[in-house]
């Protein structure tokens, strides 16, 4: 890896870690999720980075892909289990970090299980290790705590301007796996639950990603597509990031047309199959000659 790229990965990781600590301090009963999202994303930019994806604020049985809309009035409640998932990029070089917290309470056993699984995975990362070995370590750790790993959520390789660079890092034991090599940058993200150990799609999507230009009927659809292509490229964007381009009803119609046409990809909100609580822990690591460096540590 070239030194310039390495430095930017490290810089993005430092920003992500700082913003995470500040963001967690803002999680309190009565606070709107939208306020937290706007705070986190403004802090990323204030520190010299850009959001690599809309901040995910997933509560209780919601595991991923929830980012408040511009009209979201949802507020944190006491004892909510909150997953804060933050992505930062510097010139396209990405850091991805997530932590879980109980609103107004202490760290519970489910959170500890996800954090210990993450630490165990990081300890074994080095060139030549297979992703299947990482998955086995995550699964073993979470099950030892009496919980289930979420088997259909995975970590992933990070590339420049790419959140999913062709390699997945499972959270369960698998028969086959990719081999880690020096210079790989990967996000490791164990999810632990008391439920079925699987997530399913909700109907709603509020995070999207540009895919391709397509012929479109609505004027608003064409304006949104041009805007996201120019400003976000292939990185995900939130509904609220384009809310200024159309009135609420027309905006939602346009986003549906864009998704249906294949112009954008819709990330459905993911919930635990049995609606059981989910905890998440995540760091970004850079594989080195003799181990790894945690860029978000």
For the chain, give the percent of residues with pLDDT over 70. Answer: 100
Q: How far apart are CA 157 and CA 174, in angstroms?
A: 17
Q: How far apart are CA 101 and CA 136, in angstroms?
A: 25
Calculate Rg over the CA atoms of the chain.
19
pLDDT at 246 over 90: yes
Is 85 noted as a catalytic residue in this protein? Answer: yes
Is 164 noted as a catalytic residue in this protein? Answer: yes
Which one is catalytic: 45, 164, 202, 204?
Answer: 164
pLDDT at 1 over 80: no
Which one is catalytic: 115, 133, 257, 282?
Answer: 282
Q: Which CATH number fits domain 202-270: 3.40.50.460, 3.30.360.10, 3.20.20.70, 1.10.10.10?
A: 1.10.10.10
For the chain, give the percent of residues with pLDDT over 90. Answer: 96
Is 184 noted as a catalytic residue in this protein? Answer: no
The residue ranges of every structural domain in the chain are 3-198+273-294, 202-270
pLDDT at 176 over 90: no
pLDDT at 166 over 90: no
Instruction: Give the tens place of pLDDT for each residue, 205-238.
Output: 999 999 999 999 999 999 999 999 999 999 999 9
Categorize the per-residue pLDDT at 165 as very low, low, confident or very high, splitting at 50, 70 and 90.
Answer: confident
Is 45 noted as a catalytic residue in this protein? Answer: no
Is 156 noted as a catalytic residue in this protein? Answer: yes
Fold of the domain built from segment(s) 3-198+273-294: Creatine Amidinohydrolase (3.90.230)
Categorize the per-residue pLDDT at 164 as very low, low, confident or very high, splitting at 50, 70 and 90.
Answer: confident
> Which pLDDT score is estimated for 64?
97
Average pLDDT of every residue of the chain: 97
Instruction: Give the tens place of pLDDT for each residue, 179-206.
Output: 999 999 999 999 999 999 999 999 999 9
Is 145 noted as a catalytic residue in this protein? Answer: no
Categorize the per-residue pLDDT at 120 as very low, low, confident or very high, splitting at 50, 70 and 90.
Answer: very high
Concatenate the DSSP letters of all residues of the chain into one string.
--HHHHHHHHHHHHHHHHHHHHHHHT--TT-BHHHHHHHHHHHHHHTT-EEEEEEEEEETTEEE-----TT---B--TT-EEEEEEEEEETTEEEEEEEEEETTS---HHHHHHHHHHHHHHHH-STT-BHHHHHHHHHHHHHHTT-EE-TT--EEE-BTTBS--S-EE-SS--S--PBP-TT-EEEE--EEESS-S-EEEEEEEEEEEE------S-HHHHHHHHHHHHHHTTS-EEGGGGGGGS-HHHHHHHHHHHHHHTSEEEEEEEEETT---EEE-BEEEEEETTEEEETT-
Which one is catalytic: 65, 156, 220, 239?
Answer: 156
Q: How far apart are CA 33 and CA 27, in angstroms?
A: 9
Exposure on the CB side of residue 163, measured as CA atoms within 13 A? 19
Which one is catalytic: 43, 72, 85, 257?
Answer: 85
Q: Decide: 24 and 31 in contact? Cβ < 8 Å.
A: no
Which one is catalytic: 43, 96, 115, 139?
Answer: 96
Residue 250: CB atoms within 10 Å:
14
Q: Decide: 137 and 130 in contact? Cβ < 8 Å.
A: no
Instruction: Give the tens place of pLDDT for each residue, 7-58.
Output: 999 999 999 999 999 999 999 999 999 999 999 999 999 999 999 999 999 9
């Amino acid at each position: 890896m070239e030194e310039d790229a390495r430095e930017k990965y490290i810089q993005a990781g430092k920003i992500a870690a700082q913003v995470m600590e500040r963001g967690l301090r803002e999680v309190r009963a009565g606070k709107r999720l939208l306020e937290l999202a706007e705070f986190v994303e403004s802090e990323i930019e204030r520190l010299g980075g850009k959001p690599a994806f809309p901040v995910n604020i997933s509560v209780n049985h919601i595991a991923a892909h929830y980012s408040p809309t511009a009209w979201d009035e949802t507020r944190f409640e006491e004892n909510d289990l909150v997953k804060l998932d933050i992505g930062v990029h510097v010139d396209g070089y990405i850091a991805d970090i997530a932590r879980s917290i109980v609103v107004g309470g202490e760290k519970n056993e489910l959170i500890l299980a996800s954090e210990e699984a993450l630490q165990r995975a990081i300890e074994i990362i080095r060139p030549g290790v297979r992703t299947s070995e990482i998955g086995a370590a995550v699964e073993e750790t979470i099950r030892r705590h009496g919980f289930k790993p979420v088997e259909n959520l995975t970590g992933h390789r990070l590339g420049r301007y790419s959140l999913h660079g062709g390699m997945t890092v499972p959270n369960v034991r698998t028969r086959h796996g990719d081999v880690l090599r020096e210079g790989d940058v990967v996000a490791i993200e164990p999810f632990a639950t008391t439920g079925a150990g699987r997530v399913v799609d909700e109907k709603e999507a509020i995070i999207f990603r540009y895919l391709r230009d397509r012929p479109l009927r609505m004027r608003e659809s064409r304006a949104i597509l041009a805007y996201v292509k120019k400003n976000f490229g292939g990185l995900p964007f939130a509904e609220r990031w384009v809310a200024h381009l159309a009135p609420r009803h027309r905006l939602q119609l346009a986003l549906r047309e864009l998704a249906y046409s294949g112009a954008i990809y819709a990330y459905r909100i993911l919930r635990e199959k049995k609606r059981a609580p989910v905890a998440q822990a995540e760091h970004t690591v850079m594989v080195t000659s003799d181990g790894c460096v945690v860029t978000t540590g």
